Amino acid sequence: MKLYDFELSGNAYKVRLLLSLLGLNYERVPVDLRQGEQRQAAFLKLNPRGQVPTLDDGGIVVWDSLAILVYLARKYGGEKWLPLTAEPMAEVMQWLAVMENEALFGLAKARVICKFNRPGNLEEAHALGRKGLDVIEQRLASHPWLALDRLTIADIACFPYVALAPEGEIPLDGHAAVRGWIDRIKALPGFVGMPGI
């Protein structure tokens, strides 16, 4: 199994984290986004979107972090990480939607503006990111995990950009439940970090 990734990508990190929590061995293939390696013909054959992460599991190539999380959860993690029945699956999926909306266009966008000097509207990113944090805080104030009261790919998907929010100048000071959840994830057997976490 090979994972094509970039060290500072929160999306690539969430895949590394799940691989580690599942105890799976893999070869890490760094892709230097700063040098444009993701736009080279060899990489575009694997992932026509030219993005990391990309997973090659014995010739089965999966791109997009959420698609990879779903693939790994179903192939190697069973019902624990992503149930198949309608109601619990929907509960996990609604938190994946938070990742794809408030976390991505809020928290992650603020981070790339502040940390990597990318263009964008920081005020809008902050507003959307804070809205997402408030929704996550509300859930975690009365539940240990985002879905099903157990660790699922919902937590793994949302974790990186929530934990990295301060790099986008969004402090977590007013989010005690979120900070407790971050600590619970960091205490998991098999936890691996990344720069900033």
DSSP-derived secondary structure letter, 170 = -
Helical spans, DSSP H, in the chain = 10-21, 41-46, 65-72, 86-98, 109-116, 122-140, 153-163, 176-186
pLDDT for res 28:
96
Q: Could you say which residues of the chain have pLDDT below 70?
A: none
pLDDT for res 40:
86
Tell me, which fold does domain 2-80 have in CATH? Glutaredoxin (3.40.30)
pLDDT for res 1:
97
What is the C-alpha to C-alpha distance for residues 189 and 160, in angstroms, rounded to an integer? 17
What is the C-alpha to C-alpha distance for residues 132 and 95, in angstroms, rounded to an integer? 10
> Residue 57: enclosing H or E segment and its boundaries?
strand 54-57
Q: Which two tokens stand for residue 120?
A: 């964008």
Contacts of 169 (CB under 8 A, 6+ apart): 110, 114, 122, 126
pLDDT for res 192:
98
Domains of the chain, residue spans: 2-80, 86-186
Cα dihedral 5, 11, 13, 17 sign: negative
Task: Kindly give the interhelix angle for 122-140 and 109-116, rounded to the nearest 10 degrees.
Answer: 130
pLDDT for res 189:
97
* pTM of the model as a whole: 0.95
pLDDT for res 97:
97
How confident is the prediction for the chain on average, in pLDDT? 96
Q: Which two tokens stand for residue 80?
A: 């624990």
Mind listing the pLDDT tens digit for each residue in 60-79? 999 999 999 999 999 999 88
pLDDT for res 34:
81
pLDDT for res 42:
87
- β-sheet bridge partners, residue 72: none
The CATH class given to the 86-186 domain equals: mainly alpha
Q: How many CB atoms lie within 10 A of CB 59?
A: 5
Number of residues assigned to the chain: 197
pLDDT for res 37:
81
CA angle in degrees (0–180, nearest 5) for 37-41-46: 85
Are 54 and 33 within 8 A, CB to CB?
A: no
pLDDT for res 179:
98
pLDDT for res 144:
98
